[in-house]
Amino acid sequence: MSDVTNRGRMTLRHGTAMYVGAVLGTGVIALPALAAETAGPASLLAWLALVVLSAPLAGTFAALGARYPDAGGVSTYARLAFGRRAAAMVGWCFYFAVPPGVTAGALFGGAYVSAAVGGGTATTAVTAACLMIVVTAANAAGLRVSGRLQFALAGLLVILLLVSVGLSLPHADMGNLEPFAPHGWAAIGPAAALLVWSFAGWEAITHLAAEFRHPQRDLPRATAAAVAVVGVLYLLVAFATIVVLGGGAARTAAPLGELMAVGLGGNARLLAAVAAVLLTVGAMNAYYAGAAKLGAALGRDGALPGALASGSVAGEVPRRSLAVNSALSFAALAIVVVTGVGTRPLVLLTTGCFVTVYAIGVAAAIKLLPRRSMGHAAAITALIAVIALLLMSGVYLLWPLVLTGGALLYLRLNRDRPLASGQERRQDVAELTR
């Protein structure tokens, strides 16, 4: 039997980079402007609220990942807490949320490229497709390649954001904070609903927990570091967008590019496009890696076809699951290009799924984590945040409802199939209950 504390390759710095890439992701590209359009300067309160609420949520999933390191992530926690059906439901919600989510992110990055070089929607779509190919290839090469790539991308990303904000803030006008709530205080709620996209990702690294060399030690540390980095960067970019761009913040689809133009002078669209591509690749890399591992675990556990089970063991590359998720992403991209529906439906569908995953994951944490532990306390606090997110999601919970119905139907049609068999299942059960 393999050693639980030495079965993966990820280190603390790689784990932190994966977390930063998963959560920071593409939200910083467009959402500061969208939130400003919805609530004006009061959108800063929505950013602050979600930064504060994300800390216990991240702590909850870190505690679960450290205690139960498994490729199934939240799906595994749901299985241990509530049984096979709950595991399949949350697994489907995450696995099938990644294709529309990464497609939206790729299109966000592609829009920056088209703004820099021209070509309109064609350039945007081609760029998005190229990003999908690159990230799929990186993950197919194995987690060691992905981890190094993610570490480099996260470092460049942080530097670019800090330089952009630092150079633009000398041009700030505090008068742009007035009126603070031009659309009323009630607009903060819809702004926060938009920003949920920016903070999705705290659950993504749980699928890679078993890939850490020392998950019990390094996963919580990586989470704490990522919460601090992500929170500070989001607040800095949101604040700079309001005080530097003023009313123009609500009229631009590329606020980061505008900040760079103000700070550097001239046309900084090309540099903004580079930053956008880095952000997009980082987020897509983390989600493709997590979803691929999850798909393999679901195949192992009987919630998806058994052919996907290859790669569920720590250290293996789940290429079949990765191929399926990548194919679904390209299908989503094709639908957007053909129909012209844009990215907004993709964002909202993804958000509804992630909120559902959060709800089940936090409920599992409350049941599984030792009482009076820091993880259990974080889960109780996170429950308040999840309830608020559910209320804000509204009608967009219909998509995860469809997915949960599909998961239950699949289990019913395949009820005679064992959850798993052989060495992998025996090792999984022994390690998770140790």
Q: Where are the domains of the chain?
A: 4-72+98-342
The pLDDT value recorded for residue 425 is 44
Structure tokens at 339: 């129909």
The pLDDT value recorded for residue 108 is 85
Phi-psi region of 394 (alpha: psi -120 to 50; beta: other; left: phi over 0): left
Residue from 388, 38, 338 nearest 191 by CA: 38
The pLDDT value recorded for residue 2 is 36
Q: How far apart are CA 93 and CA 292, in angstroms?
A: 14
Contact 229, 158 (CB under 8 A): yes
Q: How far apart are CA 325 and CA 125, in angstroms?
A: 18
The pLDDT value recorded for residue 5 is 40
Three-class DSSP category at 212 = strand
| Omega prior to 56 cis, within 30 of 0 | no
Inter-axis angle of helices 269-301 and 422-432, nearest 10: 100
Contact 196, 280 (CB under 8 A): no
Residue from 90, 98, 11, 94 nearest 288 by CA: 98
| 3.30.572.10, 3.30.360.10, 1.20.1740.10, 3.30.1490.20: CATH of 4-72+98-342 | 1.20.1740.10
**pTM, 2 dp:** 0.77
**What does each of the 434 residues of the chain score in pLDDT, given as a tens digit?**
333 344 556 777 777 777 776 677 677 777 787 788 888 899 999 899 888 888 888 888 888 887 887 767 787 888 899 988 898 898 899 899 899 989 988 998 888 888 788 888 899 999 999 999 999 998 888 755 555 666 676 677 788 788 888 888 888 889 889 889 888 888 888 788 778 777 776 776 666 666 777 777 777 788 888 888 888 888 998 899 899 888 766 666 667 777 887 777 666 778 778 878 877 887 788 788 888 888 888 888 888 888 888 876 766 788 899 999 999 999 999 999 999 888 878 887 888 888 888 889 899 999 999 888 888 998 999 888 788 878 777 777 888 999 999 999 999 888 765 554 444 444 444 444 44
Number of other CB atoms surrounding residue 118 within 10 Å? 9
The pLDDT value recorded for residue 433 is 41
The pLDDT value recorded for residue 284 is 85
Contact 142, 9 (CB under 8 A): no
The pLDDT value recorded for residue 204 is 65
Q: How far apart are CA 20 and CA 162, in angstroms?
A: 14
